[in-house]
Structure 1
């Protein structure tokens, strides 16, 4: 029995979103329709084995951030793909919390174009592709997309294509679609320009911070202070000056640099302590995933060592009983924590609100004599040029992922008198305080730009950008053309 073909009116009734289900009000000459009703894309699978020596433009998920499809040979493609065409709009279904929407551009070298099957393809030659592109990025649509997913969470979640095709899309007249797309592009380009300036400001902050630390540990930051306080720059070394490192020491010849006459180089291990100077966190046999609980005593990880101090956001937890077993790893105020693996050299100081925590195997604790200026040592291990050079030297090789206790004990320390250390720390803290105020302002601007971008997109698809012409033909006629074309 031959299936009766639906009329355009029947298709229109199926396509239109009932008034009571419309997400929000739009101009009178717009219509709400299901995404499925305007999507004429027919999935065309591609098997790489059929074209081993052909070059393709591949729209893969990993290449999305670059904005440029990959050029690949058929024999380099390991799994099935789908053919796509110019002006197809690609909506990423994997981990939909990340806003990934991509429009297929014209091939620069007439290569056939293919895409990962992780993209949902939206195609309609009668609608404006840029309009569809921007709509799929709008906060309202993204909320729908993330509200009904499969998978256990994070990067393993996927939007459900069968659900997505039923999501509503507002359809204005064709000319209005173009006006909206053009205006959104202009406004968002201005937002992107502002965002670029913010990124440059952040980068300049990093450069200024590196510069201030470099000057601090070369003695340049306190040159004028030394000139005015010549009576305060001698003595107070705490350790034997016979232990100084010199440029004649081959181990350090490519690490040391010239210091002021009143300064000296020492090794970290020269600062003797009644307690163990450097201690590595408990090994996996003493502390592992099996010991972690939802709350209790914090176990600090490398992720807890931030530029703004210690944070418990990425801490694990153990019971009080387990913490007692690991009491030798309990922290106290003034301890310096140093990452020994992965991001080697990240460091933070333990403040009062983090005492009684313990630390994991990826961290080494430095416990200096209380008579010393702990903040000075923290800045040395975080940012001095000598520390960077030393870590680069000892942490080398393709399979090397960290440094050991002995290597940290041999870290060279540029060391002035106690009084000058206090002045250096005061100057660095003052710099950080001023820079943090600036960075807080910059970060607030960044948040406002994100909100502005969302506002632009939201207003665009409500007809609130001042582009709508109310006397243009109702978009229902355009939708009829779309449905009629698809029913052929």
Structure 2
């Protein structure tokens, strides 16, 4: 359902106020992850918080976007938005909205945010819900003077800033909780024990994950993605994961198993590179995404949980930052991970360290869950601001 508008407002179709560029997938053999060609946005998986964080490039771009476009996800996670901060190739999972001088770009952005549920309701398709160019072009937009559009944008931004201040307070609390865990890990790994390269205690791996085009998402095996875990998480029967069509050979090669450690290898943020989790148990076959790698620890030499805590420790973070390559994205490779130097005390001492750190992190995670439970009203507040703005109440 569309937002309720002020009774005096007229509307016009979005397609008359903007140019719409619907994405088209380049040929598969033109893709690469080496930074050659044009950055590709295949779908919402390449979205960042505000601007894109693409994982692939193409040497034969199809539909090109320009800096300043509003990028709209039109497939699967319909309605997600990003700003184009550069030129991109648009794959079939997205479309570009390029406004003309009759309408304010930010006004369109906020209107699309307000219409997300409506756009979702227009989705069609058995495997993947998708909206068409006709759906987007026909979306009614309030037809107001530019001055009024900009006044409404200013009021929305003013209100959103107050919400942002609340979120900053929550993030500050999150930072304090993270500092507690980091301090505990710093003390745990600040020892006189001999250090060894991580490769000496790895029994299998590291190996990189699976990349497949966004058209294969929607059904099949579960796939673990970078946003499915936090640093130091232990995954027990994870639920709510996206699904990916895989064949038997892909499942055999990329299926996760109990005891695997999964680690992020490439990201737009260096702080996220190296984020790791431990797979404890799985209800069903689960593969892992290409921006991650996985390895298994030799259980006769180290506890997997000990290694997991090490990967989240300041000692390891320093090594990640010193080894990472930063071009358009930050990344580490398999050799980098294998070369991490880890203090290796006897197994009994490792066990005691794990018990202490598990206890500290357990308390931290409980506090984090309390903060998460309070996040829903903040999201509802954002939605309320948009509703009031477009009903003429702001």
* TM bin (shorter chain): 0.5 to 0.7
2:223 and 2:287 in contact (8 A); partners too: yes
Determine the structure 1 residue equivalent to 2:304: 374
1:279 and 1:365 in contact (8 A); partners too: yes
Q: 1:93 to 1:135 in 2, by over 3 A?
A: closer
2:230 and 2:277 in contact (8 A); partners too: yes
Q: 1:358 to 1:210 in 2, by over 3 A?
A: same
1:301 and 1:315 in contact (8 A); partners too: no
Q: Which secondary structure does the structure 2 equivalent of 1:31 belong to?
A: coil
User: TM-score if structure 2 supplies the norm length?
Assistant: 0.56
Question: Once the 2 structures are TM-superposed, how far is the Cα of residue 92 of structure 1 from its aligned partner?
Answer: 4.2
* Counterpart selection for 1:277 from 187, 203, 223: 203
Can you list the C-alpha shifts for 1:235-257, whole angstroms capped at 9, x where unaligned? xxxxxxxxxxxxxxxxxxxxxxx
Q: Which secondary structure does the structure 1 equivalent of 2:220 belong to?
A: coil
1:281 and 1:359 in contact (8 A); partners too: no
Q: Greater CA radius of gyration, 1 or 2?
A: 1
Q: 1:122 to 1:203 in 2, by over 3 A?
A: farther
Q: How does 1:296-307 map to 2 (within 5 A)?
A: 306-307=230-231
1:93 and 1:120 in contact (8 A); partners too: no
Q: How does 1:257-276 map to 2 (within 5 A)?
A: 259-260=191-192, 263-268=193-198
* Counterpart selection for 2:185 from 209, 213, 223: 213
Question: Once the 2 structures are TM-superposed, how far is the Cα of residue 379 of structure 1 from its aligned partner?
Answer: 1.3
Counterpart CA distance in 2 for 1:359 and 1:177 is 44
More strand per residue: 1 or 2? Answer: 2
Counterpart CA distance in 1 for 2:116 and 2:347 is 57
2:5 and 2:390 in contact (8 A); partners too: no
Can you list the C-alpha shifts for 1:40-90, whole angstroms capped at 9, x where unaligned? x899xxxxxxxxxxxxxxxxxx9x969xxxxxxxxxxxx999xxxxxxxx9
* Counterpart selection for 1:198 from 152, 170, 191: 170
Q: Which secondary structure does the structure 1 equivalent of 2:298 belong to?
A: coil
Determine the structure 1 residue equivalent to 2:280: 351
- For the pair 1:163 / 2:130, whether they are aligned, the reply is no
| Matched pairs, number | 322
Question: Once the 2 structures are TM-superposed, how far is the Cα of residue 183 of structure 1 from its aligned partner?
Answer: 6.4
Question: Once the 2 structures are TM-superposed, how far is the Cα of residue 199 of structure 1 from its aligned partner?
Answer: 3.3
User: TM-score if structure 1 supplies the norm length?
Assistant: 0.47
Counterpart CA distance in 2 for 1:100 and 1:288 is 22
- For the pair 1:120 / 2:103, whether they are aligned, the reply is no
* Counterpart selection for 2:12 from 29, 35, 60: 35
Can you list the C-alpha shifts for 1:80-116, whole angstroms capped at 9, x where unaligned? 99xxxxxxxx994754824579xxxxxxxxxxxxxxx
Determine the structure 2 residue equivalent to 1:402: 333
2:12 and 2:141 in contact (8 A); partners too: yes
Q: Which secondary structure does the structure 2 equivalent of 1:350 belong to?
A: strand
- For the pair 1:309 / 2:234, whether they are aligned, the reply is yes
Determine the structure 2 residue equivalent to 1:421: 350
Counterpart CA distance in 2 for 1:450 and 1:191 is 9
Determine the structure 2 residue equivalent to 1:295: 220
- For the pair 1:137 / 2:67, whether they are aligned, the reply is no
Question: Once the 2 structures are TM-superposed, how far is the Cα of residue 280 of structure 1 from its aligned partner?
Answer: 4.3
2:257 and 2:282 in contact (8 A); partners too: no
Question: Once the 2 structures are TM-superposed, how far is the Cα of residue 189 of structure 1 from its aligned partner?
Answer: 3.2
Question: Once the 2 structures are TM-superposed, how far is the Cα of residue 264 of structure 1 from its aligned partner?
Answer: 3.2
Runs of 5+ consecutive residues of structure 1 not aligned to the other structure: 1-20, 44-61, 67-78, 82-89, 102-116, 219-258, 466-488
Q: 1:423 to 1:187 in 2, by over 3 A?
A: same
1:303 and 1:314 in contact (8 A); partners too: no
2:114 and 2:386 in contact (8 A); partners too: no
RMSD value, Cα: 5.8
Q: Which secondary structure does the structure 1 equivalent of 2:371 belong to?
A: helix
2:18 and 2:98 in contact (8 A); partners too: no
Q: 1:302 to 1:459 in 2, by over 3 A?
A: closer
Q: Which secondary structure does the structure 1 equivalent of 2:164 belong to?
A: helix
- For the pair 1:447 / 2:376, whether they are aligned, the reply is yes
Q: 1:441 to 1:161 in 2, by over 3 A?
A: same
